[in-house]
A and B are shown apart, each in its own frame.
Chain A
Amino acid sequence: MTIAVSILPEQRLAALNAAYRQAVARKRLRLFAGAMLSIAALILAAIGAEVNLRTLFTYFGNFVSYFDRILTLDSGQRVWTDPGEWLWGWYKWLKLLGETLLISYVGTLIGAVCAFGLNFFAAENTSPAPWLRFLVRRLLEFARTVPGIVFALIFVMAFGLGPMAGVLAIAIHSTGALGKLFAEIVENADMKPVEGVRSTGASWLSCMRFAVLPQVSAGYVSYALLRFEINVRESSVMGFVGAGGIGQELVVAIRKFYYSDVSAILLMIVVTIFIIDITTGWLRARLFGRDARS
């Protein structure tokens, strides 16, 4: 069986082909210009960041051998051949890891409570006044754009060395991040219950309590748990600036070249983070079903 494919007249075909080529050429030109622009930006960035490939190639061996060194004990053996010697400070490190976890827990909780207090003012549909919304939004933006560790540095100056500065830094950063997410949940909430409650003559506070809160609380908890995961990671470096937790011990080990200690502490941090990730993931799945994981 043959199928007749109608062939267009020569002239028309040529016109179509020309149009096609032109369209493709324009697209290619745009792509080319975009690529050139980004390459130029990258070259500029490479100059700005003092990238030196020679250094990298000369010292790349160092990077590999760094891992070789941190996986070697003072006696010259591999770390895993003598776990007792490798994890000699496990008791002290576990205590510091506990402190790290506690810092992120307390910080996240305080931050979540503050975000909870502020988010109804930041959401478009529940805010009592536009100027208040603007103010709260800017405040939250400020709190989440300034990196947590910068707050920690400043708080260490104000509150002295110790975990208090770390907790407050994490709390402020979490307030900013969670406040925005919470407000977004509220903006997605169904407004009909609010109208229902308001029609009974209830105050703004009762509207929030009986119409909005029941819809949004599950989302709040889910986001707060996610934030906790992130904060565990962040509080592991709070010690770098003297704000408590395991970071202090790690930075000392790295700076003083206690190689096997570096790998031991890193191992403990990574394992802790794994456990926290898995636990909160499981908790979220149990509380809200698999849909809430986003």
Chain B
Amino acid sequence: MKELERPDTAALRTKYPDAFERPAAARLATPAMIAAALAVLIFGLHDLGFEPAKFIAGLHQLGWITLMMIPPDPGTSLPLYLRALGETLSIALLGTTLAATLALPVSLLAARNIVPPNIIRFPVRRFLDSIRGVDTLIWALVWINVVGLGPFAGVLAIMVSDFGALGKLFSEAIEAADKKQVEGIRASGGNALHEIRFGLMPQVLPVIAGQVLYFIESNTRSASIIGIVGAGGIGLQLAEQIRVLEWQKVSFLVLMILVAVAAIDFISGKLRFAIIGRRAVA
């Protein structure tokens, strides 16, 4: 067998010093970042009261809870739970639709290619951002103060918090639209409203429809928890059963949520692809 030729390491070393001896700063950057991240982690664990004894005791307790969850059993309240699940789905569907309806006109104001002046766009965007910064649960609490306990407060909470998110997404979709169609409308003498209606909307609507469907999906999840603060739906049942330690019912409710989310996922996935074709939604 032929021996491989030994490379001339010394010559290579002088030729490419960087490959053999990276500068200390470059070599130390990654370990330093990891060390810093770990330091904050350890500080956090200490500050948040993580003690091994407490943690192990909790795990032990958690093991018991898991054992008590098996088998999932609704007891006699199955009809009640089905109703609650229906309520949750209603909240998600209605809240998202209302949010989309409200967000569409506002998103036009936030899009650069519709409203060029920064003086309008900037406040609209910050407004949407601040709505988005407040969690759905907080909005639910606010609406409970206004319309009282119940699923209606949940609808309004989902509507407001999604208004912020959808407004931003819609305006991004509008900004990504092709300008040529709009110019065509303008060239044939259309006014600004015509431009939006015939030049922009046909391009943007399929994208928006996909996003709305995606939000209905993710809102099924949000709607299933806003009941925890009293805004209707299956979360109310869930929180109650956890508080009274009925673990078999808890696991049944969790299973119901999982199945419902999977079903909605499946349906809206089909619809989404039917509307936009086999393309990923941004």
Task: Please report A residues at the B interface, Cβ cutoff 8 Å.
Answer: 41-42, 44-52, 55-56, 59-60, 62-63, 66, 99, 102-103, 105-106, 109, 142, 145-147, 149-150, 153-155, 157-160, 162-164, 167, 233-234, 236-237, 240-241, 244, 250-251, 254-255, 266, 269-270, 273-274, 277, 294
Contact = CB atoms under 8 A, between A and B. Distances in A.
Nearest to B224: A147
A106 B44 CA distance: 6
Interface of B: 37, 40-41, 44-45, 47-50, 54-55, 58-59, 61-62, 65, 86-87, 89-91, 93-94, 97, 129-130, 133-135, 137-138, 141-143, 145-148, 150-152, 154-156, 221-222, 224-225, 228-229, 232, 235, 238-239, 242, 245, 250, 254, 257-258, 261-262, 282
A102 B44 contact: yes
Contacts of B62: 154-155, 158-159
11 contacts: A48-B90, A49-B151, A49-B155, A51-B152, A106-B41, A142-B258, A147-B222, A147-B224, A147-B225, A150-B225, A159-B55
Contacts of A109: 37, 41
Contact of A59 (B90, B146, B262): B146
Contact of B94 (A46, A55, A103, A154): A46
Contacts of B143: 63
B134 A59 contact: no
Contacts of B41: 105-106, 109
A153 B242 contact: yes
A237 B134 CA distance: 9
A231 to B, nearest CB: 11
Contacts of A52: 152
B49 A163 contact: yes
B48 A49 contact: no
A274 B58 contact: no
Contacts of B228: 149, 153, 240-241
Contact of A233 (B130, B135, B250): B135
Given A146-B254, A159-B54, A255-B141, 5 more contacts: A49-B91, A145-B261, A153-B228, A154-B65, A251-B229
The 6 closest A-B pairs by CB, nearest first: A48-B90, A159-B58, A45-B90, A49-B90, A158-B62, A106-B44
A81 B71 CA distance: 59
Contacts of B97: 42
A277 B40 CA distance: 19
Contacts of A241: 228, 239
A99 B48 contact: yes
Q: Chain A's interface: helix, strand, loop or mixed, by majority?
A: helix
Contacts of A145: 221, 257-258, 261-262
A237 B44 contact: no
Contacts of A236: 135, 138
B94 A51 contact: yes
A149 B257 contact: no
A60 B45 CA distance: 45
A147 B221 contact: yes
Interface centre among A66, A142, A145, A269, by most chain B C-beta atoms within 10 angstroms, is A145
A291 to B, nearest CB: 14
Contacts of A270: 130, 133-134
Contacts of A157: 61, 65, 242, 245
B261 to A, nearest CB: 5
Contact of B152 (A50, A63, A105, A153): A50
B32 to A, nearest CB: 15
Contact of A254 (B87, B142, B232, B258): B142
A228 to B, nearest CB: 11
B52 to A, nearest CB: 12
